[in-house]
């Protein structure tokens, strides 16, 4: 402790004065020892001279406190403590100086003279101020049971230490053959109080602002000195007065100066950890109070000092019992909280945070357990249909509420028959075990329940359900794979239904997944080609635009139909890079045609854009880059979107309006097949309407029944009238005969697209077509000139 106090800080302004004051008090004490030896040998100086060492050492210790107080950057609590400690040793030094002067003035009576009452009053006042200063040092913050525990611990420690000091120190002085004066007894008792109070306090002081080592040294200044005084007084009586005054009592200023040095050092550098405050002190105090009891057990006389110790031991025992009761209650509470926390963590680990259903991990554990048992089990995989549209159109908050409502419905329908699970996203599952509910029956009930609106927003949502049996020898992964294949098959069959897995069902799905993998290779391996189907002016048959279409030339399968690989691209997300490839190639080729054949040769070049592409945040920048790199004017590019894609949320709407502001023309493809075609024309910045081929098919039939012919032409007639009213261009798709072209022309359509007019062709074939159209134009122009 003293070594820590004198450990250099590297700051000369702290190290030098701290060491100087410590060495000063040590030197005074050393001189006291040397003088006492000389006094014993030669009688030099007389007994009264012994009283001079305490006030001299006290002056040095008080100066040390004052110097540290003035030069250190102390916090308010520390300043208050050390301000009191300036007054405390100062009063004590004044009291012992009074005593020294009195003894020197009455040197002949020094051996029998007692301490003047005013001098004793000054020293006592110094002790009281020290006790008050120590008592005001803040302890570790605590509340509730912890506050009561700390109070009991401190009381136990105080009573235990006080009982020992009473039995071994103060009581023997009172009953000694040569008892000291009352003043001396009071001062020794106050010194013991300072020692016990400071020792108890320091065990519960947090790591600052009053240094713990400093308080320990203050405690030692009172306790060690008083203890030595008591031992010497009992053992030697009045003969101990000279060594006590010469070098025992000067130890108090020495330890005080060490405490000042410790505080000086702590204020100059970072404080260490406060450690575990007060852990051992109560136990040490209980052990200490047992010492006198052991002495009594071995024959020590039962006098009144021992009776006081017995009373203290009984009180300490009662306090320890109360302390243990509090500890028992606190431990019970901690154990209860720990169990609750473990249960809560276990629940959170095994359940979905949004819906409260079991999660994938618990589902796999239960399924593995079911597969290892003798009972049959089945798995239903439930996927909400078109859930992404809910998130896109209404927001994720509404989507989450829909998931919670779906989970509630699932839990109600399953009941105790199985384990409802949220796998993730919009995918749920049910594990059925035992001979209870049949999977098909449960699937039917779930679909029937979903036929009604759910959630607080009253949304209607369907589900595709795949059922797989968990038979002997199956693994968790194989059962889940079979259920997933069955669910995927249910979606392919039109959604809002259920399918039970049978052997061989996974082969088409696997082929579809393999196709997606091969498509990734095709994008990197230059297997994709862009072909162009001309858009023809119905009046003269001239090609005035093209629509870009993609073809896959597979090295093994040959030409793969778009109807086969486009859905795979949509599901795997490869539609985004595929669409980017078609966009850049179309812009490049259209710009090349304009450069070769002039601005009047081709009015527009269009391509289809999927909803997945429009959701891509980089789509608009991809279009901008393709136009900039190719040099194609914005107004020459047409982007065709379906009605369902337009309804896919705010991101899609923002992208379309931004493209429209750029000057790019937008076309509504397959117009008339959706539920909101007419309203879309007001909300969507369309420039072109493409009449779906289903309204062109059979439009030319003339069976001699005018009413039937009018009915077949009604939609086509309504669309052209609506487009003319809104100043929109029209294109009729799927024109397969001259008769269809003639009827469309009579209805007012000026442009058409279909196999009768022109089949999809390569870029070179389009160049030949444009060149052929340009020659008659050049000849006519030549005749005019």
| pLDDT tens track for 490-538 | 887 777 889 998 887 766 666 666 777 788 888 887 888 999 999 999 9
Q: What are the tokens at 423?
A: 């796998």
Alpha-carbon radius of gyration of the chain: 50
How far is residue 260's CA from residue 241's CA, in Å, rounded to a whole number?
Answer: 28
Helix (H) or strand (E) holding 384: strand 377-384
The pLDDT of residue 238 is above 70: no
Q: Which residues pair with 378 in a beta bridge?
A: 432, 469
- What is the reported pLDDT for 623? 95
Map tokens 């004590």 to a residue.
Answer: 92
Give me the active site residues, please: 733
Nearest to 640 by CA among 735, 531, 733, 547: 547
- Tell me which DSSP letter residue 601 carries: S
How far is residue 27's CA from residue 543's CA, in Å, rounded to a whole number?
Answer: 116
- What is the reported pLDDT for 275? 46
The pLDDT of residue 194 is above 50: yes
How far is residue 346's CA from residue 332's CA, in Å, rounded to a whole number?
Answer: 21
Q: What are the tokens at 291?
A: 């010492």
Peptide bond into 753 cis (omega under 30): no
C-beta atoms surrounding 603 within 10 Å: 16
Nearest to 741 by CA among 749, 534, 669: 749
Residues 774-784 have a mean pLDDT of: 55
Question: Would you say the C-alpha torsion 707, 709, 712, 718 has a positive or negative sign?
Answer: negative
> Model confidence over 36-64: pLDDT tens digits?
888 888 877 778 888 888 899 889 999 98
> Model confidence over 646-660: pLDDT tens digits?
665 677 788 888 999
**Long-range Cβ pairs for the range 651-659 (8 Å, 24+):** 651/392, 651/614, 651/615, 651/617, 652/392, 652/611, 652/614, 652/615, 655/614, 655/619, 655/620, 656/614, 656/684, 656/685, 657/685, 658/620, 659/620, 659/623
The pLDDT of residue 320 is above 80: no
**What is the chain's mean pLDDT, rounded?**
80
Q: Which of 183-187, 486-490, 568-572, 716-720 has the lowest mean pLDDT?
A: 183-187
Nearest to 72 by CA among 239, 261, 207, 212: 261
How far is residue 39's CA from residue 49's CA, in Å, rounded to a whole number?
Answer: 10
Percent of the chain with pLDDT over 90: 22
Q: Which of 19-23, 170-174, 652-656 has the lowest mean pLDDT?
A: 170-174
- What is the reported pLDDT for 371? 86
How far is residue 581's CA from residue 170's CA, in Å, rounded to a whole number?
Answer: 100
Helix (H) or strand (E) holding 643: helix 643-646
Residues 633-643 have a mean pLDDT of: 90
C-beta atoms surrounding 234 within 10 Å: 21
Q: Which residues pair with 640 in a beta bridge?
A: 608, 667
C-beta atoms surrounding 7 within 10 Å: 12
Residue 337 phi, psi (nearest 5): -65, -40
Q: Which residues pair with 691 in a beta bridge?
A: 671, 732
**More confident site: 572 or 25:** 25
> Model confidence over 542-596: pLDDT tens digits?
999 999 999 988 888 888 888 878 877 877 778 889 999 999 999 999 999 999 9
Contacts of 150 (CB under 8 A, 6+ apart): 139, 140, 142, 204, 278
- What is the reported pLDDT for 312? 67
How far is residue 501's CA from residue 234's CA, in Å, rounded to a whole number?
Answer: 100
**More confident site: 459 or 511:** 459
Q: Which of 60-64, 126-130, 189-193, 761-765 has the lowest mean pLDDT?
A: 189-193
pLDDT interval class at 277 (50, 70, 90): very low
How far is residue 451's CA from residue 409's CA, in Å, rounded to a whole number?
Answer: 12
- What is the reported pLDDT for 259? 85
- What is the reported pLDDT for 276? 47
How far is residue 642's CA from residue 646's CA, in Å, rounded to a whole number?
Answer: 7
Question: Would you say the C-alpha torsion 26, 28, 29, 34 has a positive or negative sign?
Answer: positive
HSE-up of 526 (CA within 13 Å, CB side)? 0
The pLDDT of residue 356 is above 80: yes
- For residue 154, CA distances in Å to 159, 197, 431, 550 come to 9, 9, 60, 86
- What is the reported pLDDT for 328? 77
Burial 310-331 (b: 16+ CB within 10 A, else e): bebbebbeebbeebeebeeeee
pLDDT interval class at 274 (50, 70, 90): very low
Nearest to 237 by CA among 179, 288, 285: 179
> Model confidence over 70-90: pLDDT tens digits?
888 888 888 888 888 889 888
- What is the reported pLDDT for 1? 47
**Long-range Cβ pairs for the range 721-730 (8 Å, 24+):** 721/748, 722/678, 722/681, 722/689, 723/689, 724/748, 726/681, 728/681, 728/686, 728/687, 728/688, 728/689, 729/687, 729/688, 729/689, 730/688, 730/689, 730/690, 730/691
- For residue 405, CA distances in Å to 401, 452, 732 come to 6, 12, 44
Q: Which of 298-312, 428-442, 644-658 has the lowest mean pLDDT?
A: 298-312
Residues 481-487 have a mean pLDDT of: 89
How far is residue 354's CA from residue 357's CA, in Å, rounded to a whole number?
Answer: 8
pLDDT interval class at 676 (50, 70, 90): very low
Helix axes 476-492, 360-371, angle to 10 degrees: 110
How far is residue 430's CA from residue 418's CA, in Å, rounded to a whole number?
Answer: 6
Burial 236-269 (b: 16+ CB within 10 A, else e): eeeebbbbbbbbbbbbbbbbbbbbbbbbbbbbbe
**More confident site: 236 or 68:** 68
The pLDDT of residue 170 is above 50: yes
Find how far residue 166's CA is from the centre of its chain: 57
> Model confidence over 218-230: pLDDT tens digits?
777 776 676 666 5
Burial grade of 185 (CB within 10 A; 0-12, 13-18, 19 or more): middle
- Reduce the DSSP state of residue 205 to 3 states and report it: coil
How far is residue 52's CA from residue 103's CA, in Å, rounded to a whole number?
Answer: 9
Is 555 in contact with 593 (CB distance < 8 Å)?
no
- Tell me which DSSP letter residue 667 carries: E
pTM greater than the 0.75 cutoff: no
- What is the reported pLDDT for 782? 46
Query: Can you spell out the DSSP letters for 288-351?
Result: HHHHHHHHHHTT----HHHHHHHHHHHHHHHHHHHHHHHHHHHHHHHHHHHHHHHHHHHHHHHB
The pLDDT of residue 389 is above 80: no
């Amino acid at each position: 402790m003293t070594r820590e106090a004198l450990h250099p800080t590297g700051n000369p302004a702290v190290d030098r004065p701290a060491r100087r004051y410590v060495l000063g008090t040590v030197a005074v004490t050393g001189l006291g020892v040397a003088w006492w030896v000389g006094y014993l040998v030669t009688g030099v100086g007389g007994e009264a001279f012994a009283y001079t060492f305490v006030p001299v050492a006290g002056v040095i210790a008080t100066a040390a406190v004052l110097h540290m107080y003035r030069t250190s950057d102390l916090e308010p609590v520390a300043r208050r403590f050390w301000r009191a400690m300036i007054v405390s040793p100062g009063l004590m030094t004044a009291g012992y100086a009074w005593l020294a002067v009195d003894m020197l003035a009455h040197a002949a009576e020094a051996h029998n003279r007692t301490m003047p009452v005013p001098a004793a009053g000054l020293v006592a006042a110094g002790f009281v101020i020290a006790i008050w200063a120590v008592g005001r040092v803040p302890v570790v913050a605590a509340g509730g049971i912890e506050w009561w525990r700390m109070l009991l611990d401190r009381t136990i420690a105080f009573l235990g230490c006080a009982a020992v000091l009473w039995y071994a120190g103060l009581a023997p002085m009172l009953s000694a053959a040569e008892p000291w004066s009352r003043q001396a007894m009071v001062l020794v008792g106050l010194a013991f109080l300072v020692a016990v109070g400071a020792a108890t306090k320091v065990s519960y002081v947090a790591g600052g602002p009053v240094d713990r080592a400093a308080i320990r040294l203050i405690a030692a200044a009172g306790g060690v000195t008083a203890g030595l005084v008591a031992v010497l007084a009992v053992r030697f009586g009045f003969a101990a007065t000279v060594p006590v005054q010469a070098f025992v009592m000067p130890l108090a200023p020495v330890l005080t100066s060490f405490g000042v040095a410790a505080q000086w050092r702590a204020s100059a550098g970072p404080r260490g950890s406060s450690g575990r405050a007060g852990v051992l002190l109560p136990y040490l105090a209980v052990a200490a109070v047992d010492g006198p009891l052991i002495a009594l057990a071995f024959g020590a006389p039962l006098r009144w000092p021992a009776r006081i110790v017995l009373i203290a031991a009984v009180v300490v025992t009662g306090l320890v019992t109360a302390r243990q009761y509090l500890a028992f209650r606190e431990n019970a509470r901690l154990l209860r909280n720990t169990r609750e926390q473990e249960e809560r963590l276990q629940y959170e680990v095994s359940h979905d945070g949004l819906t409260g259903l079991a999660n994938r991990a618990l589902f796999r554990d239960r399924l593995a357990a079911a597969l290892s048992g003798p009972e049959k089990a089945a798995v239903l995989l439930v996927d909400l249909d078109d859930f992404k549209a809910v998130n896109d159109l209404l927001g994720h908050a509404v989507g989450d509420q829909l998931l919670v409502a779906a989970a509630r419905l699932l839990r109600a329908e399953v009941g105790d028959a199985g384990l409802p699970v949220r796998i993730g996203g919009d995918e749920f599952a049910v594990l059925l075990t035992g001979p209870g509910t049949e999977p098909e029956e449960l699937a039917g009930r779930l679909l029937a329940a979903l036929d009604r609106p759910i959630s607080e927003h009253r949304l209607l949502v369907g589900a595709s359900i795949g059922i797989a049996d968990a038979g002997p020898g199956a693994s968790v992964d194989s059962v889940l794979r079979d259920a997933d294949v069955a669910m995927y098959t249910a979606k392919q069959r039109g959604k809002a239904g259920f399918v039970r897995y049978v052997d061989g069902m996974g082969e088409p799905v696997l082929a579809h997944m393999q196709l997606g993998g091969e498509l990734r290779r095709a994008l990197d391996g230059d297997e994709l080609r862009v072909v162009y189907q001309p858009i023809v002016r119905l009046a003269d048959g001239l090609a005035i635009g093209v629509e870009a279409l993609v073809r896959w030339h597979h090295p093994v399968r040959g030409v793969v139909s778009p109807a086969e690989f486009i859905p795979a691209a949509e599901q795997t997300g490869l539609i985004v890079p595929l669409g980017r490839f078609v966009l850049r190639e179309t812009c490049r080729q259209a710009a090349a045609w304009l450069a070769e054949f002039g601005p009047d040769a081709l009015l527009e070049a269009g391509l289809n854009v999927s909803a997945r592409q429009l959701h891509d945040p980089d789509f608009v920048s991809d279009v901008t880059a393709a136009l900039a790199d190719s040099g194609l004017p914005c107004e020459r590019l047409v982007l065709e979107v379906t009605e369902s894609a337009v309804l896919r949320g705010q991101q899609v709407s923002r992208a379309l309006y931004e493209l429209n502001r750029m000057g790019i023309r937008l076309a509504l493809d397959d117009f008339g097949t959706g539920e909101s075609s007419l309203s879309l024309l007001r909300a969507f910045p369309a420039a072109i309407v493409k009449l779906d081929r289903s309204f062109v098919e059979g439009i030319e039939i003339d069976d001699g029944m005018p009413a039937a012919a009018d009915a077949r032409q009604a939609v086509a007639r309504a669309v052209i009238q609506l487009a003319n009213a809104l100043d929109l261009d029209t294109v009729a798709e799927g024109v397969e005969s001259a008769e269809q072209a003639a009827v469309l022309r009579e209805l007012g359509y000026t442009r058409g697209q279909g196999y009768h007019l022109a089949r999809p062709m390569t870029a070179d074939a389009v160049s030949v077509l444009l060149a052929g159209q340009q020659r008659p134009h050049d000849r006519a122009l030549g005749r005019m000139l």
